[in-house]
Chains A and B, each alone.
Chain A
């Protein structure tokens, strides 16, 4: 019987298709998260008497809630695809650790793009709901029609943030696969360090990190920052799990 000589790109392509078929749950959880986001986004009413004859009702809707929940979803999804069950599924067919990483990461990227776009659109749905409920004057924020450029920048930014969070989740997931001792370490970094205030310098680091991405005003530089960060995160994930034993 002759031996097959596989190419990495072929195997990655096949695995990517396999994972697309096998992990549709990723997309249904995205849908649920964004529905929750829309619901909580529109639900902020405030009403007050301006004078005896005038009553003002504020109905505000924020497109941020679906975006925030999408980021949470991206982070969890990133962790999820690195777990044991997903790995064993992948190694039931042809795979090595690199091809498994590449195909999982492509899946996470695709999911992040879908998540990033729909998060912004979900925000628009929220605005529409508020408009339909009140049918009064709406002071609009930038939308597709009056400022298409910033609308698309908004979508692109949303995608990049989603990718960033998914990449972070993926890396943390990979480290946890390497050693369960990473979990308390992450808890310390996320909770204990900020609570300790400035004394350790932990807050300083976290603030810096947030400012590094959050205060960037040039889209191109922001894009580069995200791409480089994600590439570094991915390389780290591959490096720490390249010796992982599977289907033990």
Chain B
């Protein structure tokens, strides 16, 4: 069953001056763990807030559980969006907040919440606004996990968490997802941290979706050629390269995986190896703009 559907969705702030999402179309199946990946400011958070029904589309149609999420109680009751805008009254202690969450969410797993709460060593009488940024996000993540909502959305949940807590959180997420399969959206700009977790990737760039599908398909879009520099260069001269690295007389070049069988055979004869790339390299290649690298900023400055 389809959990989320975007039909030609456009979202712009300030009366259409700048559109964050641009005629977006995609659909996400139920019980899939999808990573929403993209650079800063491409509209990942906007997309998630639209799904949660917090903000409304400028044009087009969003469907969550076949309902328009904006002002839908059904969507709200079955969805939780964990991000840094989650706020709780300063009169409530952490323990009381968990108790309130228990009353609101039908599938609330109080046992899990308690165990995670103790594991991450929270004080039951502490107040949310006195927590550090990392602790706040850890606490929010506990609520997100324990709510067991059919649609669980984490927007940059690990901001401010230290390395150990990040790893623990991702592990907890994976274990809980396996035990209670549900539709999960997880956004991060650190694909390398979450690629082992994800089934699908929804790649966002400039308010559009250049890629949506299994993570292995993303990896297959690019390869690395490794070999003697002059030989490799001869092969990639016709192709656009997405990054290269010289190691002595050898070179690695990242290119689109559009080699035919014949070409592959020829590459092998010349001693050039075709190496599969990590998902992160493919992601960087797919999302790097046409402006070149940061080095170009400084290079052109000196030539001016």
Q: Does B23 contact A (CB under 8 A)?
A: no
A1-B150, A14-B104 known; A96 and B73 CB under 8 Å?
yes
A1-B180, A88-B85 known; A246 and B54 CB under 8 Å?
yes
A93 touches B73 (CB 8 A): no
A88 touches B87 (CB 8 A): yes
Q: Does A94 contact B (CB under 8 A)?
A: yes
Q: Please report whether the interface of chain A is mostly helix, strand, loop or mixed according to DSSP.
A: loop
Task: Tell me the complex Cα distance, A243–B68, Å.
Answer: 13
- Distance in angstroms from B177 CB to nearest chain A CB is 11
B73 touches A6 (CB 8 A): yes
Chain A residues with Cβ below 8 Å from B83 are 247
Q: Does A220 contact B (CB under 8 A)?
A: no
A92 touches B86 (CB 8 A): yes
A199-220 contact mask (Cβ, 8 Å, vs B): 1 or 0: 0000000000000000000000
Chain A residues with Cβ below 8 Å from B76 are 6, 94-96
> Which residue, A21, A23, A93, has most C-beta atoms of chain B within 10 A?
A93
A-side interface size class: 20 to 34
A11 touches B88 (CB 8 A): no
Q: Does B107 contact A (CB under 8 A)?
A: yes
Q: Please report whether the interface of chain B is mostly helix, strand, loop or mixed according to DSSP.
A: loop
A11 touches B77 (CB 8 A): yes
Task: Tell me the complex Cα distance, A2–B148, Å.
Answer: 11
Q: Does A89 contact B (CB under 8 A)?
A: yes
Chain B residues with Cβ below 8 Å from A24 are 91
- Distance in angstroms from B288 CB to nearest chain A CB is 29
Task: Tell me the complex Cα distance, A29–B263, Å.
Answer: 79
Task: Tell me the complex Cα distance, A17–B148, Å.
Answer: 22
Instruction: Offer 28 A-B interface pairs, CB within 8 angstroms, sorted by A.
Output: A1-B180, A1-B181, A3-B65, A3-B78, A3-B150, A4-B77, A11-B77, A14-B104, A17-B103, A21-B91, A21-B96, A24-B91, A92-B87, A92-B88, A93-B104, A94-B76, A94-B104, A96-B72, A96-B73, A96-B76, A99-B73, A242-B71, A247-B49, A247-B81, A247-B83, A247-B86, A248-B54, A248-B55
Q: Which residues of A contact B (CB under 8 A)?
A: 1-6, 8, 11, 14, 17-18, 21-25, 85, 88-89, 91-99, 242-243, 245-248
> Which 5 residue pairs of A and B lie closest in terms of their CB atoms, listed nearest first?
A22-B89, A6-B77, A245-B55, A247-B85, A93-B104
